[in-house]
């Protein structure tokens, strides 16, 4: 396999782990510690410590009978997530463009990454120039607890996942409308999950209001979210309830179907929306 030129600051442990993965990938029936140690050029003790750490995180597994080492299922999970995300942007793009044209507003596509909302696509409408300019851009990260898209994604985490996010990231106050109390946030997330949409009522940026809906994959997992965003003076609460909410839900449903989601998958806050054609 061809590689880019080796960087001068390559971390030795990372290099060793990468080499172990390459060797194991070529061993269909697993590989013994002795053989792996010889192939990667490491003492058995060093190789064993690395394998033990990798096994702890699920990147490597050891067969109970042969004691051979195999690649772990965590790599399958990560590989599938990467493929989903690579396909997601391309598959969602036509729907985002259509939604932006219909609503004449900016549309975002966001995933949850490292407990933050990460913008992976943005479609800007040119039909309503002027007004407040949003700071959003592809590649931007924002706190999940104060954005419509972020709240949608963490609403589908486990209770432990939400608690870990709060512990690691905190609940910083971006505007006077930001929810910063953990109990209040958890109550709010339950409502978001049940109703199938979320609103950012100037919680992340003063003067900007958003409404979003989740995107589900074929396993029924919330893998992304989309939102319609714009100046609060134009994106009024009434407009959100009477028009924009319905359109963003319908678009999220269409993308979910494109990714293989069906009505038969029991996912809180989405099945009733599919059956009713979009309006929760």
Domain locations in the chain? 12-71, 81-275
Residue 63 tokens read as 């067969």
For residue 33, the number of C-alpha atoms closer than 13 Å in the C-beta half-sphere is: 15
User: Consecutive 10-residue runs of the chain (280 residues): their mean pLDDT?
Assistant: 56 92 90 95 94 94 93 87 78 96 96 92 76 70 95 96 95 96 97 96 95 94 96 96 97 94 60 40
Asked if 208 and 229 count as a contact pair (C-beta separation under 8 A), the reply is yes
Total-model pTM: 0.68
- Give the pLDDT of residue 272: 46
- Give the pLDDT of residue 128: 60
Q: Which fold has domain 81-275?
A: Beta-Lactamase (3.30.450)
- Give the pLDDT of residue 7: 65
Tell me if domain 12-71 and domain 81-275 are identical in fold: no
Rounded Cα distance, 14 and 174, in Å: 37
- Give the pLDDT of residue 81: 76
Class of the CATH-defined domain 12-71? mainly alpha
């Amino acid at each position: 396999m061809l590689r880019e030129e080796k960087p001068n600051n390559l971390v030795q442990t990372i290099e060793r782990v990468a080499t172990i993965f390459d060797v194991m990938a070529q061993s269909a029936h697993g590989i013994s510690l002795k053989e792996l140690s010889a192939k990667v050029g490491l003492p058995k003790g060093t190789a064993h410590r690395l394998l033990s750490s990798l096994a702890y995180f699920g990147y490597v597994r050891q067969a109970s009978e042969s004691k051979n080492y195999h690649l772990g299922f965590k790599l399958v999970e990560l590989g599938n997530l990467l493929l989903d995300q690579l396909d997601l942007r391309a598959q969602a793009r036509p729907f985002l463009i259509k939604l932006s044209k219909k609503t004449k507003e900016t549309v975002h596509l966001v995933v949850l990454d490292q407990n933050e909302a990460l913008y992976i696509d943005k479609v800007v409408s040119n039909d309503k120039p002027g007004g407040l300019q949003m700071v959003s851009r592809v590649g931007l990260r924002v706190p999940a607890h104060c954005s419509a898209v972020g709240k949608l994604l963490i609403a589908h985490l486990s209770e432990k996942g939400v608690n870990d996010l709060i512990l690691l990231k905190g609940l910083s106050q971006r505007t006077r409308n930001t929810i910063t109390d953990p109990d209040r946030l958890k109550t709010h997330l339950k409502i978001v999950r049940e109703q199938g949409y979320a609103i950012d009522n100037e919680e992340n940026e003063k003067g900007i209001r958003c409404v979003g809906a989740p995107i589900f994959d074929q396993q029924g997992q919330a893998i992304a979210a989309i939102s319609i965003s714009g100046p609060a003076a134009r994106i009024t609460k009434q407009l959100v309830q009477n028009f924009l909410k319905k359109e963003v839900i319908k678009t999220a449903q269409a993308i979910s179907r494109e990714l293989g989601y069906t009505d038969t998958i029991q996912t809180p806050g989405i099945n009733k929306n599919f059956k009713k054609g979009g309006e929760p």
